[in-house]
Amino acid sequence: MTQVLANKGFETLLPLYRVAHRWKDRTQVVHLPVFPCYTFVRTSLERKLEILKTPGACWLVGKRGYATPIALEEIEAVRVVCESSARLEPHTFVKCGDRVRVHKGPLTGIEGILVRTKNQCRVVLSLQLLRQSAAVEVDLAMIELLPLRAVAIEPVVLESKKPAW
């Protein structure tokens, strides 16, 4: 489907990762999508029908029935990692953890959430709209901690009643 969309003039992104699959008689390295069932397409909504007529396309991701673009920074981070030699793989979606930015090497500028698996550090890139994530291995010396984002808190007014006594 990605190639068909590219032939129609769309800019597409299908992040893949390598994994060894073992069958009874052999082991083979295969490429699988990092975000199963999703192909990213840069387009305007005027071409929505053209996309949906492509074999294999089901719908555009959105909220409340309307197509919604994924944050440019999130897609750009995935694209940069795909173009580098870094190893990208699927990861469970996370919201909490230390927010970090890579400040050295080919992944400079990538922001995500730092996680540790065994003795490896990884930066988890999350696509909020899809509620999916991918993790890329990084050297701890190449990352910096980002300051916590301010969270807007709505003021709450509590109504109190005078005691009945």
pTM over 0.95: no
Where exactly are the structural domains of the chain?
2-145
The Cα angle at residue 107 between residues 102 and 110, in degrees rounded to 5 = 55
Q: In the sheet where 98-102 sits, what is the strand order?
A: 88-91, 132-138, 120-127, 111-117, 98-102, 143-145
pLDDT at residue 163 above 70?
A: no
pLDDT in tens, 40-55: 999 888 888 898 899 9
Q: Are 86 and 134 in contact (CB under 8 A)?
A: no
Q: Are 35 and 74 in contact (CB under 8 A)?
A: no
Q: Which amino acid is at 6?
A: A
Torsion angle of C-alpha atoms 83, 148, 90, 105, degrees rounded to 10: 30
